Amino acid sequence: MLWVWAAVAGAAAQTGRNAAQRGLTEKIGTLGATNVRFLFGLPFAVLFLLTAALCLPEAVPLPGARTLLFTAMGAMAQIAATALMLQVMRSQGFGITTAWLKSEPVLVALVGWAMLGDALTLPMLGAIAVAIAGVLVTTLKPGAGRQMLTGMRPALMGLAAGLLFGLSAIGFRGGITALPQGSDLIRALTTLVLAQTIQSVVLGLWLAFRDPPALTGAFRVWRGSLAAGFLGALASAFWFLAFALTSAANVRTLALIEVPMALAVSWLAFGQRTTPRQALGIAILLAGVALLMAVEG
């Protein structure tokens, strides 16, 4: 059951990292805060890998083409997901945004049905309907009328971020399992270093050419950037270890614990109170996701 503890620790560290990144968004912009997670997290990821390799002791496996392909897919999906998440958090509550992200299993099931012809049973459709109802309750205010589409826009962005996070999880687990040798911990940390290297190079080059102030600004607020980077690397290390030990579906299900953590941070750190309607919607959404994972399992 080591994967359970790894997933819970990953959820706690990820909640802290998201809060740190949210604070940086106003100072260096969405892409600048997105890059902090990878650029400042990479040295910590390398340190984690070297420490594990020395303590076990064990050689670091050399990634092959399959690992590179899966990890690159996961890395790019995670960049886009993080940017969308931070953009939504600028206008919506921290806890509500986190709840929308956790609808990812529902979205993965719908994409699998639409693009791959995966079967959707009646219990699965019922669970999806419950989750969708939860999203609607959190976003649509009574009497919204013509403002319905405007009110749904942040939710749709949050749901898109959740889907991309789901695809990144699949990519990272594929990269981990494709490594030819190594213990679960070494393979997880090797894939983490590879992913954060790809992300730092890709997003760093983009910002260097398109938005240099966002890139240099991260060093100006280095304390916050360092905290976000460390928490991001720590969270990813735990998530990757969980992915190495069990299926992505199991990890995604337990990751729902992040929602009450985020609601607590939203209230205590940002003074954002959840309305009764929003709390009801979040509860319905999480119930739908949990039901879907139960019937799929």
Write out the chain's pLDDT in tens, 297 residues: 788 899 899 999 999 999 899 889 988 999 999 999 999 999 999 999 999 999 988 899 999 999 999 999 999 999 999 999 999 988 787 888 888 888 878 887 787 677 657 777 888 888 888 888 888 788 766 655 455 555 678 888 988 998 898 888 888 988 998 998 889 899 999 999 999 999 999 999 999 999 999 999 999 999 999 999 999 999 989 988 888 888 766 787 788 888 888 888 888 877 888 888 888 888 888 888 888 878 766
Q: Tokens for 3, please give them.
A: 């994967």
The pLDDT score that the predictor gives to residue 238 is: 92
pTM confidence score: 0.84
Alpha helices in the chain (DSSP H): 2-39, 42-55, 65-89, 94-101, 104-116, 122-139, 148-178, 184-210, 212-220, 222-245, 248-254, 258-268, 276-296
The pLDDT score that the predictor gives to residue 297 is: 60
End-to-end alpha-carbon separation of the chain, Å?
A: 17
**CA R_g for the chain:** 19
The full length of the chain comes to 297
The pLDDT score that the predictor gives to residue 212 is: 93
Dihedral sign for Cα atoms in the order 35, 36, 40, 45: negative
Q: Tokens for 262, please give them.
A: 């985020």
The pLDDT score that the predictor gives to residue 200 is: 95
The pLDDT score that the predictor gives to residue 52 is: 93
The pLDDT score that the predictor gives to residue 143 is: 54
Q: Tokens for 127, please give them.
A: 């669970």
* Surface-to-core class of residue 8, CB atoms within 10 Å of its CB (0-12 exposed, 13-18 middle, 19+ buried): middle
- Buried-state track 233-266, b at ≥16 Cβ within 10 A, e below 16: bbbbbbbbbbbbbbebebbbbbbbbbbbbbbebb
67, 257 Cβ separation under 8 angstroms: no
Q: How many Cβ atoms from other residues are within 10 Å of residue 212's Cβ?
A: 10
- Calculate ∠ Cα 92-31-36, nearest 5°: 100
